[in-house]
Amino acid sequence: MPAPTADATDQANLADLLRRHGGLDHLQVRRHGASLVLYTRSEDVNINRARLTAVSRTRWRLDMPLHTGRWQPTPFVGSLIDIFRVLTSELAPWIAPLD
């Protein structure tokens, strides 16, 4: 069985969730292998905000960035919508606009 990947449809679905939620226009989505990375552009630099990595075709694991540039795994695994709900509730301060 091939390893799961993040495809253009997954990227578009996450971008659509961001757009429909409102207040998250500062976030952009890029694909990187099996992951979808949420990031903010600031002074021509990408600032990583969260990473969703495909663990199967329908399940994603959420990681958050550390100040070192590495990723910290979280205990959150679920559908794209489940992970989005976690990001916009429990972890909302981590994806809020940078002032």
Res 31: pLDDT: 97
Report domain extents, the chain. Answer: 8-95
Residues facing residue 52 across a β-bridge: 36, 62
Res 98: pLDDT: 86
Check: CB of residue 27 under 8 Å from CB of residue 39.
yes
Res 3: pLDDT: 83
DSSP letter for each residue of 67-93 = TTS-EEEEEEEE-HHHHHHHHTTTTHH
DSSP letter for each residue of the chain = -PPP---HHHHHHHHHHHHHHSS-TT-EEEEETTEEEEEEEETTEEEEEEEEEESSSS-EEEEEE-TTS-EEEEEEEE-HHHHHHHHTTTTHHHHSPP-
Res 2: pLDDT: 75
pTM, entire model: 0.93
Res 1: pLDDT: 65
Res 75: pLDDT: 97
Which positions of the chain have pLDDT values less than 50?
none
